[in-house]
């Protein structure tokens, strides 16, 4: 295998139609984001002291948005760690495959929406950090 398994993240800015009747933001698969939208999921009723995530994906790509409130994404590509705050419904975080992610610091009433490139497949998950690290290191050899 080659080194292409190394993951990366980047911010995605979506269009906003600003209107006195409310703001509207839209996203089309294969247009504003680099994959077709096979699955949408959302987190809500999240206690403010909650921690979520704690996994990585072999192939799945995602874009994460805060549609209400805010939270922190803690990102780890197996080599370096970085934090991103999500608080603007127009600004998502694209997360490639092979990225360990955790989420915390949810504000009261926060809503997290995720657009995903594949349907659910448990075999695509790394749920153990050491297994994830070992896979990353195998591509750095």
Binding site for a second copy (CB under 8 A): 20-29, 31, 36-47, 50-52, 67-68, 89, 106, 109, 111, 113, 115, 119-120
Q: Which is nearer to a second copy, 88 or 135 (CB)?
A: 88
The Cα–Cα gap between 129 and 141 comes to 19
We find the least distance from the C-beta atom of residue 56 to a second copy, in angstroms, to be 18
We find the least distance from the C-beta atom of residue 120 to a second copy, in angstroms, to be 7
We find the least distance from the C-beta atom of residue 106 to a second copy, in angstroms, to be 7
Q: Which is nearer to a second copy, 19 or 130 (CB)?
A: 19
The Cα–Cα gap between 11 and 6 comes to 17
Q: Which is nearer to a second copy, 46 or 75 (CB)?
A: 46
Q: Which is nearer to a second copy, 4 or 45 (CB)?
A: 45
Active site residue 55: yes
We find the least distance from the C-beta atom of residue 10 to a second copy, in angstroms, to be 19
Q: Of residues 32, 55, 118, 139, which has the active-site annotation? A: 55
3: exposed, middle or buried (Cβ count in 10 Å: 0-12, 13-18, 19+): exposed
Which string of DSSP letters, residue by residue, matches 77-130? -SS-EEEEEE--TTEEEEE-SS-EEEEE-PPTT-EEEEEESS---GGGEE-SHH
The Cα–Cα gap between 32 and 22 comes to 21
- Catalytic annotation, residues: 55
């Amino acid at each position: 295998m080659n080194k292409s398994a190394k993951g990366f993240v980047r911010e995605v800015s979506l269009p906003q139609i600003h209107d006195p009747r409310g703001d509207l933001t839209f996203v089309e698969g294969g247009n504003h984001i680099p994959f077709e939208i096979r699955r949408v999921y959302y987190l809500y009723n999240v206690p403010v002291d909650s921690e979520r995530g704690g996994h990585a994906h072999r192939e799945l790509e995602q874009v994460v948005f805060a549609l209400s409130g805010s939270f922190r994404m803690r990102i780890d590509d197996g080599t370096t760690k970085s934090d991103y705050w999500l608080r603007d419904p127009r600004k998502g975080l694209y997360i490639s495959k092979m990225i360990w992610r955790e989420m915390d610091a949810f504000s009261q009433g926060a809503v997290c929406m995720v657009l995903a490139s594949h349907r659910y497949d448990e075999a695509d998950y790394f749920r153990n950090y050491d297994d994830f690290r070992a896979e990353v290191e195998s591509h750095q050899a």
